[in-house]
Amino acid sequence: MVALTVDDGYFSRNEILDVLIEAGVHATFFIIGRVLVSDADFVRRAVSENRKLYFMDIGVRNALVNDFRPISLRPDKGGLFENLVISELEKTSKNHGLKINKYFYREYGGKEVDLVIEDYRKNYWVFEIKSKRGYGGDIFPIQNKYSNINSENFYQELVRLMDSIKASMNK
């Protein structure tokens, strides 16, 4: 796994995306509003190349898909909930100073796990994120702690995860 921060610099975002696509790397992007304004073609291309995009500002996501209706009327409520979970996890891990990697896992056959968290000791927490109750299945090939996150247990799972990560880092 490789973690990259892509700023305005020597290589363009599109050049980096070309390398990732050529290597067959699945990527997860956190998008901030400035990128959408300055490089909307990159965002459209990243979406079309089957990458996962999460937004810290859900209004940006709503503007991209041009849908501001209440969540009860939205066909993408599962994606909105997954975005909420990922962005809250990002904020919480930053607030607690946790040094963790976050990514998703997809098999060549298309099965995927929504969220994989890895700490510096190579401990893994794997999550399937669903807005309603449901069970995915642990397809991640490395020993891990697997759980489902849904709208009923979201807060409890976030607290449990943070406690578990902190405990593993203090060993």
- What's the rounded mean pLDDT across residues 37-44? 56
- Give residue-wise pLDDT tens across range 78-113: 888 988 898 888 888 888 888 888 887 877 777 888
pLDDT band at 10 (very low <50, low <70, confident <90, very high): very low
Whether pLDDT at 25 is above 70:
no
Q: What is the dihedral of CA 44, 45, 49, 53, to 10 degrees?
A: -50
- 104: tokens are 């998703």
Cα–Cα distances in angstroms (integers) from residue 165 to residues 7, 40, 170, in the given order:
29, 36, 9
pLDDT given at position 2: 47
Q: What percent of the chain has pLDDT over 70?
A: 68
Instruction: Give the whole-angstrom CA distance, residue 78 versus residue 164.
Output: 26
- Contact assessment for residue 169 and residue 120, using Cβ atoms and an 8 Å cutoff: yes
DSSP conformational letter for 92 = H
Q: Domains along the chain? A: 1-68 (no CATH), 77-171 (3.40.1350)
pLDDT given at position 135: 65
Instruction: Compute the mean pLDDT over every residue in the chain, rounded to the nearest whole number.
Output: 76
